[in-house]
Amino acid sequence: MEPDNNQLYRVIFEQAPGGMAILDTAGVIILLNRKALEITGYQAADELFGKNITHILSATDHDRFREYVSLPLSSGVEEVREFSLQKKDGSLSVCEFLISLLPGSPGSPGTVIVTFRDVSDRIRSEKAINAAVRMLNRFNSITRHDLMNQLTILLGYLELSHDMVTDDTLKEFIAREEGAAETIRRQVAFTKDYQDVGVNVPVWVDLPVVIRETASIIDHPGMKVEVGINPGLRVFADPLIRKIISNFIENTVLHGKTANTITITSSEQPGGLVIAFCDNGAGVPVEDKERIFTRGFGSKRGYGLYLAREILALTGITIAETGEAGMGARFEITVPKGGYRVA
């Protein structure tokens, strides 16, 4: 017995976990599934048949939604967007919409399939988390400011003490105390640069533009930065990738010794996109290639490369040092497939 495909499709449509609506190309509702009624608060599909889809949207989103509907009709582009949905009782919720075009037969304009789901709870949770993070950052900023003030006072008194005592043993103790206080000061200052790790959602970053902008504001006299990356290359990463790029350049300036050129290139490999930061300096000894990414490694590196690896890992990006000691450093950043594109 041949399966009844029409009945099967109807069951799938009705039992779909998300709201679904079939529209004509003018946006008029032809068909709705059970979940669509549940989300919009209507009891029967007849209440919405023949009405434009904007009937269930907030008035402020009508024009934006009409523009959204025109995308698959004019260019075939399909993308998820959020709109404010107005329920039957007048209450509002935030929904994610995806529109697809179902071509018709020759001479027929076809139909539009709209799928949507209520993401209001997720949006509320995100807002609550962001508000909490902002509060914690304000608290951290105040605490950091107070710590820096106290450290300035402490270092000042240590300097006075060093000048006033004559005992060499005491002078050595004071010098060590000054060193410890200065280390604390640097670490407290460092937290300001990275207090937003993971706070902002990842974005598509125009990599060559960001690299050139970052290089232009770093003081690197005598250091040439060459960018060999195709224009329009974008990677999906935490916005703090700017700080990571800055860290690479500053590390070469501080630790590259004989380095006078930084070359940044990209190439597609089986594992994804490889972005290479290379210099012509002293390079990294074999025994330190992995250690440089550990927390607190080095006298002044502190947490830069450690946090760089952690931040990149938020979007599945990896980093490794693959250069040859004595021939310059080479940091390879591998972006997984789907995490990069060319505009």
Contact 102, 113 (CB under 8 A): yes
Q: Is the same domain home to 112 and 136?
A: no
Q: Is the same domain home to 67 and 16?
A: yes
Q: Is the same domain home to 254 and 270?
A: yes
CATH number at residue 334: 3.30.565.10
- 19 is a domain residue: yes
Q: Is the same domain home to 156 and 56?
A: no
pLDDT value of position 48: 94
Q: Is the same domain home to 226 and 273?
A: yes
Domain membership of residue 255 as a residue range:
203-342
Contact 276, 330 (CB under 8 A): yes
> How far is residue 43's CA from residue 159's CA, in Å, rounded to a whole number?
78
pLDDT value of position 107: 63
pLDDT value of position 104: 67
pLDDT value of position 134: 81
Q: Is the same domain home to 211 and 178?
A: no
- 95 is a domain residue: yes
- Tell which of 59, 87, 118 closes a domain: 118
pLDDT value of position 301: 46
Q: Is the same domain home to 69 and 43?
A: yes
Token pair 């930065």 is at which residue? 225
CATH number at residue 25: 3.30.450.20
- 171 is a domain residue: yes
pLDDT value of position 298: 61
Token output for 272: 């994804």
pLDDT value of position 234: 93
pLDDT value of position 1: 45
pLDDT value of position 73: 65
- Tell which of 118, 135, 154 closes a domain: 118
- Tell which of 118, 145, 166 closes a domain: 118
> How far is residue 16's CA from residue 45's CA, in Å, rounded to a whole number?
16
Domain count of the fold of the chain: 3
Q: Is the same domain home to 69 and 143?
A: no
- 198 is a domain residue: no
Q: Is the same domain home to 12 and 109?
A: yes
Q: Is the same domain home to 305 and 280?
A: yes
The tens-digit pLDDT sequence of the chain (343 residues) is 455 677 888 888 888 999 999 998 888 999 999 999 999 999 999 999 999 999 999 999 999 998 888 876 666 667 889 999 999 999 999 999 998 887 766 666 678 899 999 999 999 998 888 788 788 878 888 888 899 999 999 999 999 998 899 899 999 999 999 989 988 888 787 777 667 666 677 889 999 999 988 888 876 677 888 889 988 899 999 888 888 888 888 888 877 778 889 999 999 998 899 999 999 888 888 998 998 888 777 644 446 788 889 889 989 999 999 998 888 899 999 999 999 988 7
Q: Is the same domain home to 109 and 130?
A: no
Q: Is the same domain home to 271 and 329?
A: yes
Contact 82, 63 (CB under 8 A): no
Q: H helices of the chain, where? A: 5-15, 34-40, 62-74, 120-164, 168-193, 207-216, 241-255, 304-313
Token pair 């599909």 is at which residue? 45
DSSP 243-289: HHHHHHHHHHHHH-TT--EEEEEEEEETTEEEEEEEESSS---GGGT
- 110 is a domain residue: yes
326: left (phi over 0), alpha (psi -120 to 50) or beta: left
Q: Tell me which residue of 321, 275, 316 sits closest to 294, measured CA to CA.
A: 321
